[in-house]
Structure 1
Amino acid sequence: MSSTEGFSDFFYSASDGLRLHARVYGEANSGRWPVVCLPGLTRNARDFHELALYLSMHAANPRKVVAFDYRGRGQSAYDPDVKNYNVGVEAGDILAGLMALGIEAAAFIGTSRGGLIIHVLGALQPAILKAIVFNDIGPVIEAVGLAHIQSYLERAPKPKTFTEAVDAQRSAHGQDFSALTDADWTRMAWALNRETDQGLLPDFDPKLIDTVAGLDLMQPLPDLWPQFDALGGIPLLTIRGANSRLLSTDTLQQMREHHSMMETMTVEGQGHAPFLETGDLPEAIATFLDGAEQRGTTTD
């Protein structure tokens, strides 16, 4: 590992040999459940930087936090086969990373695609899931929300400077994220882009766009209710952006009916997906994890 501010870089090999990356915060923290952070479709480990610092440096209950870059994102290698950009392969990559890190079980935080991967992990290796935080995702994805993502990725602007990148994000998402500050928009642009010899570029394989562009939204989208129901015995917090187009209030209510242990939070002034480092979300997540671990320890 190589150290930097607040975290260490960890590189490992996927089952097919691809070189993958994760950030490890609070590496020396032990005695409490570690936390695994899984980002959205085109996002990367940097999305969780502030939350990971908060959880790893928490005064009362500091935790080890691992934030992953999926293949084709961040510092993980691009896959020459675009078909491998799917939640099944990516779930296997996460399991390989946790094995390399020696983590047998953890609490998981999944934003959007990260939550879908958690559904798959629950089917593949349920014992690894101690507690779950879903960030604006559930077993049903609304077609209108996926169409919005599809449209944005296909027509995304190509900013030449960091200032242009911030303005582009605000222009595209400002209506859904009225609660964000200038600092929030700056962090978003910083997390999404990287500086290269060719200028500023989105920090993901452009072929990822093909995996979304090829979806036929005129056909019913498959749901994950069986996989969600299999998570019924695991403490769960679902966070929804009040302006979300991807996770509906109807689905959230059905999730409550299916999962008696589920807690919920609605974040006003934010859409898909809420920034987990904003407002009282970091402490709310920390409190949820502490409570889940305390109850789990009591019943063991």
Structure 2
Amino acid sequence: MTLSHFTTSDGLRLAYDDRGTGLPLLCLPGLTRNMDDFDTLLEPLAGRCRLIRMDYRGRGRSDYDPDFNNYNLLREAHDVVELLDHLGLAQVAILGTSRGGLIAMALAAGFPQRLTGVILNDIGPVVGTAGLARIMEYVGKTPPQPDLDTLADAMVRQTTGEFPGVTAQVWHRHVAHWFAERPEGGLSLRYDPALHKALLAQAATGALQDMWVFFDALKAFPLAVIRGANSDILSAETLAEMRRRHPVMLVAEIADRGHVPFLDEPEALALIGAFLDTLPPLPQGSPA
């Protein structure tokens, strides 16, 4: 990995990875996730686009914020804009997984001039209540398993309804992105546990409850949506309303996947390729 950092306007060092040439595609991960979740795209998209990945504040290899209240969509959207400024990019397409898709919607509403298109990975303007409750149960908590192998085995048992057929070997590859093994034994989070406090504080204020306004801002752009057929975050009903409001958006529903698809599925890769074909070419003189 060619890891780089930039410094935000409030002094945090955030990590990013920038590789390839051509149309820039910025990958934004889920709530507790980091850029490693997009490792599955490095080979399939090599030579296809300029692939940029970032770790939000408090996640992965980025600095933790001393004020957990800054773990919010609007601050994180501003961090994205500051990364684009740092890279000298006037515009970028976004592939947003879960939280990353919400940030993309916020950018479409607040900074539309910086976007060329958006892919939403298993997220929409309505977040399923069952899925949200499930997320609140684990955010900020260290898994009880002693190592990644044991955690991967547990994932096989715990996700048979949402991810049937996914092996322990596959789960090991993914959980190694989200947790680290301690030298003395046990696991540690690869994000700031204070993120749980931020979610509780934001839930209490009801911040950003109506995301349909943000979604409607995407009408101006090429849009694609990937949905896990077993998702408890993006429902079939919400997806149907999204299609009604944005009739030309591309859609792929991934069988045997919950929240979120891994993005190595053939249907997901085909949709990403089709989406890239809809993007306008780079203006002459733009950095590739």
TM-score above 0.5: yes
Give unpaired runs (5+ residues) of structure 2: 284-288
Aligned to 1:37: 27
Residues 1:22 and 1:221: Cα distance change in structure 2 (over 3 Å): closer
Equivalenced residues, count: 281
Aligned to 2:69: 83
Equivalent residue in structure 1 for 2:87, among 77, 94, 101: 101
Aligned to 2:15: 21
Distance of 2:125 and 2:66 partners within structure 1: 30
Residues 1:190 and 1:279: Cα distance change in structure 2 (over 3 Å): farther
Equivalent residue in structure 2 for 1:9, among 3, 17, 27: 3
Give unpaired runs (5+ residues) of structure 1: none
Whether 1:150 and 2:144 are equivalent positions in the alignment is no
Distance of 2:140 and 2:89 partners within structure 1: 37
Distance of 2:42 and 2:119 partners within structure 1: 14
> Aligned AA for 1:288?
F
Work out whether residues 176 and 271 of structure 1, in 8 Å CA contact, stay in contact via their aligned partners in 2: yes
Q: What SS does structure 1 have at the residue aligned with 2:15?
A: strand
Aligned to 1:162: 148
Q: Give the superposition deviation at 1:198.
A: 5.1
Structure 1 residues 191-200 or 123-132, which shifts more? 191-200
Q: What SS does structure 2 have at the residue aligned with 1:232?
A: helix
Work out whether residues 142 and 189 of structure 2, in 8 Å CA contact, stay in contact via their aligned partners in 1: no
> Aligned AA for 2:42?
A
Distance of 2:194 and 2:75 partners within structure 1: 16
Equivalent residue in structure 1 for 2:231, among 241, 244, 249: 244
Q: Give the superposition deviation at 1:184.
A: 2.4
Distance of 2:83 and 2:157 partners within structure 1: 36
Distance of 1:164 and 1:131 partners within structure 2: 40
Residues 1:170 and 1:202: Cα distance change in structure 2 (over 3 Å): farther
Q: Give the superposition deviation at 1:292.
A: 3.4
Identity of aligned residues (%): 39
Residues 1:292 and 1:261: Cα distance change in structure 2 (over 3 Å): farther
Q: Which 4+ runs in 1 deviate beyond 6 A?
A: none
Work out whether residues 69 and 76 of structure 1, in 8 Å CA contact, stay in contact via their aligned partners in 2: yes
TM-score scaled by structure 2? Answer: 0.90
Residues 1:160 and 1:264: Cα distance change in structure 2 (over 3 Å): same
Q: Give the superposition deviation at 1:179.
A: 4.2
TM-score scaled by structure 1? Answer: 0.86
Work out whether residues 157 and 168 of structure 1, in 8 Å CA contact, stay in contact via their aligned partners in 2: no
**Cα-Cα RMSD:** 2.3
